[in-house]
């Protein structure tokens, strides 16, 4: 079924949503949960197309070519609203601009409360998609709860989040929850090879994606992502043997951009998890397959307890960054605690 929606993976989710469309049993609210890059937004847009396509190929299967399908794909449809985390525009503090490290705010929800009560302009359903809703502040969550309770029959709300546990239970309980899962690494590699890419490249992208096909495509399209990853991993190798002064200097530089620091921590976390796998003699494929030699070397030099502590420290930093603990202090403690090899 997934191929009819032009999607890779999570066929069960496509099948369920298709049945909701064809049987007229569409819920008023859905939560698509899963790791970033697993296809949450793409699935939401395909679902919106299936709900509003003018000329479906068959029941519940959008054509992808009519005006509604094209406008929804471009997220420029009159009856589609896409809400994502924002920050205040530094040049105009009253304005909000999208930002990966931002938050969904109450004024965004309030603006939608007016829109949702208007009947669809050109389609059957008014669809509202809330991206990365785990980044909504508490005021926005409470405002959305009221919207969920009073949504009209022609409105469909779709939330995306890393996992349901990050959201208020009262919100989750009012949604149909679909937990999306990554593909096997081999499946991602095969799909990339079907696009004409050489095997060495597809193998690396598939492993780095962790089975998230959407993230694999991002890596493919944006060469700078691989470049930044390479730079951060090279930095990590240098930091392991760096002096205290060098670590303090790096921590100061790293903490200046919170989102950049978060991305660096995620890259380092995937690397140290690989080291932990090899230290524990697990047969699980490495994410950072191109760094196999140095990962094996570290695994031979370090005890499993030490590696586990590093992984735990990295996870702790990510959690504390979400709670706005001082980034520079977190970076300094993390780097100073790196094991000497």
| Tally of structural domains, the chain | 3
Band of pLDDT at residue 1, cut at 50, 70 and 90: very low
pLDDT at residue 3, rounded to an integer: 57
Interval 287-322: pLDDT, tens: 999 999 999 999 999 999 999 999 999 999 999 998
pLDDT at residue 113, rounded to an integer: 87
Residues 235 and 308 both lie in one domain = yes
Residues 215 and 266 both lie in one domain = no
Final residue in a domain of this structure, among 147, 179, 211: 179
What gap in Å lies between CA 77 and CA 70, rounded to an integer? 8
Those residues whose C-beta lies under 8 Å from the C-beta of residue 306, and which sit 6 or more positions away, are: 339
Residue 20 lies in a domain: yes
pTM of the model: 0.86
Average pLDDT over residues 176-188: 95
Weakest mean pLDDT among 39-48, 111-120, 129-138, 235-244: 111-120
Residues 252 and 300 both lie in one domain = yes
Residues 189 and 143 both lie in one domain = no
For 133, the domain range is 2-179
Percent of the chain with pLDDT over 70: 99
Residues 207 and 327 both lie in one domain = no
Beta bridge partners of 103: 86
Residue 165 lies in a domain: yes
Residues 162 and 245 both lie in one domain = no
Residue 72 lies in a domain: yes
- Number of Cβ within 10 Å of residue 85's Cβ equals 23
Residues 303 and 313 both lie in one domain = yes
Interval 220-276: pLDDT, tens: 999 899 999 999 999 999 999 999 999 999 999 999 999 899 999 999 999 999 999
Note whether 5 and 58 are within 8 A (CB).
Answer: no
Residue 195 lies in a domain: yes
Average pLDDT over residues 79-108: 91
Residues 197 and 311 both lie in one domain = no
Residues 6 and 138 both lie in one domain = yes
**What is the rounded average pLDDT for all residues in the chain?**
94
């Amino acid at each position: 079924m997934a191929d009819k929606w032009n999607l890779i993976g999570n066929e069960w989710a496509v099948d369920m949503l298709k049945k909701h469309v064809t049987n007229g049993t569409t819920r008023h609210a859905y939560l698509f949960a899963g790791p970033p890059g697993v296809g949450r937004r793409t699935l939401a847009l395909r679902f919106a197309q299936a709900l509003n396509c003018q000329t479906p190929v068959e029941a519940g299967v959008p054509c992808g070519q009519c005006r509604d399908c094209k406008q929804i794909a471009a997220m420029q449809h009159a009856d589609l609203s896409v809400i994502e985390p924002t920050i205040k525009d530094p040049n105009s503090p009253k304005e909000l601009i999208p930002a990966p490290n931002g938050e969904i705010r109450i004024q965004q929800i309030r603006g939608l409360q007016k829109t949702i009560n208007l009947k669809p302009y050109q389609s059957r359903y008014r669809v509202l998609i809330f991206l990365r809703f785990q980044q909504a502040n508490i005021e926005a969550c409470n405002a959305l709860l009221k919207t969920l309770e009073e949504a009209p029959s022609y409105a469909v709300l779709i939330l995306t989040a890393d996992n349901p546990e990050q959201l208020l239970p009262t919100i989750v309980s009012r949604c149909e929850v679909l937990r999306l899962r990554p593909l096997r690494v081999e499946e991602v590699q095969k799909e990339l090879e079907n696009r004409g890419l050489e095997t060495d490249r597809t193998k690396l992208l598939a492993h780095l994606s962790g089975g998230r096909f959407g993230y694999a495509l991002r890596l493919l399209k944006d060469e700078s992502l691989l470049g930044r990853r390479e730079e951060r991993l090279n930095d990590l190798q240098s930091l392991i043997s760096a002096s205290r002064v060098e670590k303090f200097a790096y921590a100061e530089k790293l903490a200046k951009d919170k989102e950049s620091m978060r991305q660096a921590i995620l890259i380092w976390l995937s690397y140290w998890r690989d080291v932990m796998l090899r230290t524990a003699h697990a047969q699980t494929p490495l994410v950072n397959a191109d760094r196999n030699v140095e990962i094996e070397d570290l695994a031979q030099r370090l005890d499993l307890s030490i590696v586990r502590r590093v992984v735990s420290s990295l996870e702790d930093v990510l959690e504390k960054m979400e709670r706005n603990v001082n980034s520079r202090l977190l970076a300094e403690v993390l780097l100073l605690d790196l094991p000497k090899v």
